[in-house]
Structure 1
Amino acid sequence: MNLLEVNALGISFGGLKAVDNFHVSVKKNELYGLIGPNGAGKTTIFNLLTGVYKPNSGEILLNGKNLVGKSCIKINHEGVARTFQNIRLFNKLSVLDNVKAGYFESQKYSFLDGIFCLPNYFKKEKAMDELAIDLLSVFHLEDLANESAGNLPYGKQRKLEIARALSTNPSLLLLDEPAAGMNPSETEELMETIRLVRDRFDMTVLLIEHDMKLVSGICDRLTVLNFGQVLAEGETAEVLHDEKVIKAYLGE
Structure 2
Amino acid sequence: MAILEVKNLSIQFGGLHAVDNFNIQINQGELYGLIGPNGAGKTTVFNLLTGVYKPTEGIIKLDGVDITGKNPIEINKAGVARTFQNIRLFKDMTVLDNVKAGLHNNYKYSTFTGVFRLPKYFKVEKQMNEKAMELLKVFGLDAFADYLAGNLPYGEQRKLEIARALATEPKLLLLDEPAAGMNPNETQELMDMIRFVRDHFNMTILLIEHDMKLVGGICEELTVLNFGQVLCQGKTAQVLKDPAVITAYLGE
For the superposition of Structure 1 and Structure 2, which TM-score range results when normalised by the shorter chain? Answer: over 0.9
* CA deviation vs aligned residue, 1:203-252 (integer Å, no higher than 9, x gap): 00000000000000000100000000000010000000111000012435
Match of 1:233 in 2: 233
- SS of 2:134's equivalent in the other structure is helix
Q: Which amino acid aligns with 1:222?
A: L
* CA deviation vs aligned residue, 1:42-92 (integer Å, no higher than 9, x gap): 000000000000000010011111111111000001100000000000000
CA distance in 1, matches of 2:199, 2:171: 13
Q: CA deviation at 1:110?
A: 1.3
Match of 1:82 in 2: 82
Q: Which amino acid aligns with 1:200?
A: H
Aligned: 1:159 with 2:152:
no
CA distance in 2, matches of 1:209, 1:121: 41
Q: CA deviation at 1:22?
A: 0.5
CA distance in 1, matches of 2:250, 2:182: 23
Match of 2:174 in 1: 174
- SS of 2:105's equivalent in the other structure is coil
Match of 2:134 in 1: 134
Aligned: 1:247 with 2:247:
yes
Structure 1: gaps spanning 5 or more residues: none
- SS of 2:156's equivalent in the other structure is helix
CA distance in 2, matches of 1:33, 1:228: 16
CA distance in 1, matches of 2:168, 2:42: 23
Q: Which amino acid aligns with 2:93?
A: L
* CA deviation vs aligned residue, 1:113-172 (integer Å, no higher than 9, x gap): 111111111101000000000000110000000000000000000000000000000000
Match of 1:17 in 2: 17
Match of 2:42 in 1: 42
- SS of 1:51's equivalent in the other structure is coil
Over the aligned positions, Cα root-mean-square deviation in angstroms equals 0.7
CA distance in 1, matches of 2:27, 2:61: 12
Q: Which amino acid aligns with 1:110?
A: S
Runs (4+) of structure 1 exceeding 3 A deviation are: none
Q: CA deviation at 1:2?
A: 1.1
CA distance in 1, matches of 2:19, 2:119: 51
Q: How does 1:65-144 map to 2 (within 5 A)?
A: 65-144=65-144
Q: CA deviation at 1:105?
A: 2.5
CA distance in 1, matches of 2:50, 2:187: 26
- SS of 2:51's equivalent in the other structure is coil
Structure 2-normalised TM-score? 0.99
Match of 2:213 in 1: 213
8 Å contact from structure 2 (residues 177, 209) kept in 1: yes
8 Å contact from structure 2 (residues 77, 105) kept in 1: no
CA distance in 2, matches of 1:162, 1:50: 16
CA distance in 2, matches of 1:181, 1:107: 34
CA distance in 1, matches of 2:74, 2:250: 40
Q: Which amino acid aligns with 2:225?
A: L
CA distance in 2, matches of 1:6, 1:73: 19
Structure 1-normalised TM-score? 0.99
- SS of 1:108's equivalent in the other structure is coil
- SS of 1:146's equivalent in the other structure is coil
- SS of 1:210's equivalent in the other structure is coil
- SS of 1:90's equivalent in the other structure is coil
Q: How does 1:28-39 map to 2 (within 5 A)?
A: 28-39=28-39
- SS of 2:178's equivalent in the other structure is coil
Structure 2: gaps spanning 5 or more residues: none
